[in-house]
Each structure stands twice: as C-alpha cells, then as structure tokens.
C-alpha cells in the first residue's frame, strides 16, 4: 500500500521540523562541513534501508532538506507504506554537499522513528490476516508526535483510534470511579446514556469494562464500542457470544497485554478491534542510512 501526507500532517510536522534543525545546527550551523568542504560542491546521496520493514516519513525528510536549501531535489523511488529489504533504495537526494550532510541526521531521525512504527504495525496486521479484527493505535504517543505517529500506523496498514480527548467519548475506569463517587447508585449504563445526551450527534461513545457482568450492563445502553480490558482469549470469546446475543451492532475492542505472540489468538475470538499502545510507544526504529 502507499500513503500520502495530508495538510493536517504537514501542519503538525512544522514545529517538530523547526525544533529538530534548531537543536542540531544551533546558531553556528554544521561546523564540521563548514571547516573543510567547499560550499558549492554538489552531490547525490541515497536513503537506503538496512532492514526489512515498511517506510514512513519521506515527506518529512524531504522537507528537512528543503528548509535548509529550497534547491535540494529529492527523488522518491518508493512511497510511504511500501515494504523494504536490506539494500532497498528509498530515495535519492541531490544538492550542495554541505546541505545534504547538515540535514542528514534530522531527516533520518524522522524516517527511522516513523518507519519503525509502520514496520511494527505491519507485523501485527499480518498476524491477524484472515480475521475480521483491525489493528488500532492508542493515545500512548510522544508529546507532539501523535498525528505523525498515527500517520505511520496507517502506513503500516493499521487504523487510528481517536486522536485525542476531543473527538470521541471513551469512558474508562477512573471516569466510572468518579461517577460512582458522585452517587453510589450510578451505573455504567447510566454513564453511557448521560454522555450520549451531552455530545454532538454522531460522536462515537465507547466504554471500558473488565468483566462479563460489566459488559452485560453496558450493552443495555447501546454504546458504539466496548473496550474489553485485559481479557484473555477465553473471556473474549465469551464476550463475543454475549454481544452477539444482546447487541450485535456493538463493536468489541480487545486491549491490554497484546503482543505478536498472542494477537492471532485474540483476533480469532471474533472481536472487531485490537488496540495496541506498543505500536507507538515501543516500536524500535527501522535502520536507515544515507549512502553516497
């Protein structure tokens, strides 16, 4: 698959790109290249993969160099979302050698991080192939990187959960504890009804449960999604049966303790969604390099 940056992602990237170049170049610039390389020398370098994975972040690398010098030319040989192997040439970059070297680390920092997220996501997506389960990210992202990290998840074939607290309702255990503290008689189902009444029409309302009894309670209120927290395959299978009988239109989301070793078994239970924080908070960088 291939994926392209939207205006939203370009806007989110601007402050990160600026900070990245500022922290690398300071006020003096790249004093190493300035010390002995001719400022007019031209060259071409290649962005090359050292590992098997999935690429993401090419538009960011391109922008890094063009912020330093608009005359730099980046020729993409593959698109974001494409698989790579050791030795795969991802892009060729042509411009003044001092500029190419000054932007090297910033460009690769963006690409290795986002490609790592895309690569890990692709492994989870491949593991659940043939089931109805989609792989979803979470809000467990580095501050300021969320929009870009979620872009990388899509590049790996995954799907995006809510972007933040502002675009969907997700009633979690601490919300419910506060709800009960306000009135011990309050139920989880009542919390869903109360939330639905306050938010705009069409807003997704999701609730987290950690037992089958809680699932039965919340299904009576018609949430869009029920998050099944830290349930093993046996409980998840039972939860699917309960949902199918009581409210087949409600989607079920498994979350908590999910890894590449158990995700296929979890997907086989019949849940529609599997959310994994590790996609964005623990993905190892994909090893990419800049070669002459």
| pLDDT tens, residue by residue, 158-215 | 999 999 999 999 999 999 999 999 999 999 999 999 999 999 999 999 999 999 999 9
Helix (H, G, I), strand (E, B) or coil at 75: strand
Q: Which of 62, 137, 208, 272 is an active site residue?
A: 208
- pTM, rounded to two decimals: 0.96
CA-CA distances (angstroms) from residue 237 to 105, 134, 172, 244, 271?
47, 16, 22, 11, 8
Do 79 and 137 lie in one domain? The reply is no
Same domain, 162 and 52: no
Cα within 13 Å of Cα(146), Cβ side: 14
The answer to whether residue 2 is domain-embedded is: no
φ, ψ dihedrals at 178, nearest 5°: -65, -35
Active-site option among 50, 105, 139, 159? 105
* 229 is an active site residue: yes
Q: What DSSP element (H or E) covers 251?
A: strand 251-255
DSSP state of 142: -
* 53 shares a domain with 38: yes
pLDDT, one tens digit per residue, over 232-268 is 999 999 999 999 999 999 999 999 999 999 999 999 9
| Closest listed residue to residue 229, CA positions, set 182, 268, 277 | 277
Give SS3 for 210: coil
How crowded is the C-beta side of 66, counted as CA atoms within 13 Å? 11
Active site residue 241: no
Which helix (DSSP H) or strand (DSSP E) does residue 135 occupy? strand 134-136
Q: Indicate which CATH number applies to the domain containing 92.
A: 3.90.1170.20
Residues 113 and 166 in one domain: no
Catalytic-labelled residue, pool 14, 172, 173, 241: 172
Q: How many domains does the chain have?
A: 2
**240/133 same-domain check:** yes
Catalytic status, residue 96? no
> What residues make up the domain containing 15?
7-126+284-291
Read off the CATH number of the domain in which 179 is found: 3.20.20.70
Q: Which of 46, 76, 140, 216 is catalytic?
A: 140
Residue 3 scores a pLDDT above 90: no
């Amino acid at each position: 698959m291939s994926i392209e940056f939207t205006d939203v992602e370009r806007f989110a990237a601007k402050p990160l790109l600026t900070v990245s170049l500022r922290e690398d170049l300071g006020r003096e610039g790249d004093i190493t290249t300035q010390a002995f390389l001719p400022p007019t020398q031209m060259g071409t370098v290649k962005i090359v993969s050292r590992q098997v994975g999935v690429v993401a972040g090419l538009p960011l690398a391109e922008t890094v160099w063009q912020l330093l010098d608009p005359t730099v030319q980046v020729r993409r040989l593959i698109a974001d979302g494409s698989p790579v192997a050791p030795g795969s040439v991802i892009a060729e970059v042509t411009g003044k050698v001092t500029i190419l070297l000054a932007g090297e680390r910033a460009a690769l920092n963006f690409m290795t991080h986002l490609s790592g997220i895309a690569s890990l996501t692709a492994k989870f997506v491949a593991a659940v192939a043939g089931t109805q389960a989609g792989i979803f990210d979470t809000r467990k992202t580095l501050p300021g990187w969320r929009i870009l990290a979620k872009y990388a998840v899509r590049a790996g074939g995954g799907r995006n959960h809510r972007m933040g607290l502002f675009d969907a309702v997700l009633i979690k255990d601490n919300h419910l504890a506060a709800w009960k503290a306000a009135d011990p008689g309050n139920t989880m189902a009542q919390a869903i009804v109360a939330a639905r009444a306050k938010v705009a029409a069409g807003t997704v309302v999701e609730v987290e449960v950690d037992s089958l009894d809680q699932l039965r309670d919340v299904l009576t209120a018609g949430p869009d999604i029920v998050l099944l927290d830290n349930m093993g395959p046996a409980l998840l299978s039972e939860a699917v049966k309960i949902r199918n009988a009581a409210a087949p239109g409600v989607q079920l989301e498994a979350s908590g303790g999910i890894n590449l070793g158990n995700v296929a078994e979890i997907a086989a239970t019949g849940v529609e969604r599997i959310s994994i924080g590790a996609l964005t908070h623990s993905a190892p960088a994909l090893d990419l390099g800049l070669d002459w």
